[in-house]
Chains A and B, each alone.
Chain A
């Protein structure tokens, strides 16, 4: 197994409130891993802590065998990309400027241009709207910009926080279609979703988060067999 990301005993939280209790996680290169579970149990907190937006209280985060520095900017430069919940776009910038910000640390202009073309191929809608400001886009278009901006970093691992949040079913299908394409190209992805049915077709490894730690972990096949566990946590 070729491990890309290794998280060991990670604890973190907000101010004095501990949310993550010694979480450990391994991600294989080129795979899609999903973290599922009810709201308010630390899924987004885990992604923020891995990205360095929240301080690590205990534990280590290693990418490609080296321990990552604490600052979020340095982790991004090391190849860890987070597509945050609610997109967090640069609202007064155009779509194209937002996408170029995604490639901020890359220096090879020709390669950046190629990735930009890839993003426009994946989301033709963004090409139509590339001169438009982000604050004039619809929710689905914003999600596309968020994911496209994540692609622009050409990072080793892309972490996506609730890609389906607040979108109409038709748009969710489009977004997941895009994620599928990315996964087929060999992009390593860590995705967080409340509802496992959305990610069941894409991910190969699953972790169920409850109360700040993993209550259940397993493969796609194991998930299919463990409907009882899921019902207990997520309701039927």
Chain B
């Protein structure tokens, strides 16, 4: 029973971080067909920005958090304004943008390596302490992680479902030309989507670094996991990515507990292969079935 609670707590914490990391990736892919290889760098940049602020200026936790998220939003808008904008109308955008963003990711990672060095740091923005529930120790850190993920993803869901802004994003994702004919300035929508992805990913990065520490390559592993989650959910499905992330977190926690931590990722990959054999469009992805 203790084990079960422990697994659920760990799984939910992992799942919450994975969800933050993958929802933005799914949104960018779903809206503009762009698989953003620099998505992991949003996480790294967010984590380093809040690290710099809290270690250099001793900024309190909430301020460091907000600064990190702002850094993610700024990186997102710069990525759009300096690169994506010019490639949108090129042929084979889906392929070329993957290569371009991979290049950006490598360059940024090297810049961070040069500035901060390869030595991993501990994220100073930490929440200490824990409480006991039914005999299991639960850290406040986990609670904050889950609460933050729920807050940010909830805000995104509300935005997409109930606002005109979200309606425009969904319309652009479903049919770009039709959205333009309705007067939606789709290029601005793309900018907004990348900024949203930057915000969520940098928040994920800060939370991940608070557990695993900071290193220039810290974004790589979460990016791979986010990618796996998006594939399992069905590429482009935002709600699906959130649900799949929680499932994957719980699954990984169980594997780590019963088999060993190093089997987490391999078993996850095996599961993905199985899912793709039996459900090629992903768990929540639908093959475009249109009645005609």
Contact = CB atoms under 8 A, between A and B. Distances in A.
Which of A52, A90, A91, A97 counts the most chain B CB atoms within 10 A?
A90
Given A90-B175, A135-B290, A81 B181 contact: yes
A73 B185 contact: yes
Interface string A36-80: 000000000000000111000000000000000001110011000
Given A104-B164, A135-B291, A90 B184 contact: no
A175 interface: no
A20 interface: no
Interface residues of A, number: 30
Contacts, number: 71
B86 to A, nearest CB: 16
B75 to A, nearest CB: 26
B167 A92 contact: no
B180 interface: yes
Nearest to A150: B181
B178 A73 contact: no
B183 interface: yes
A116 interface: no
Interface string B154-188: 00000000001001101100110111111111100
B171 A90 contact: yes
Contacts of B171: 90, 93, 101, 104
Interface band, chain B: 20 to 34
Contacts of B180: 52-53, 71-73, 76
A5 to B, nearest CB: 16
Contacts of B90: none
A207 to B, nearest CB: 22
Which of A72, A101, A104, A153 counts the most chain B CB atoms within 10 A?
A101
A218 B174 CA distance: 40
A84 interface: yes
A51 B179 CA distance: 13
Given A72-B177, A104-B168, 5 more contacts: A51-B181, A76-B182, A76-B183, A92-B170, A104-B183
13 contacts: A51-B181, A53-B180, A71-B185, A73-B185, A81-B181, A84-B177, A88-B177, A91-B174, A93-B171, A101-B182, A104-B167, A135-B289, A153-B183
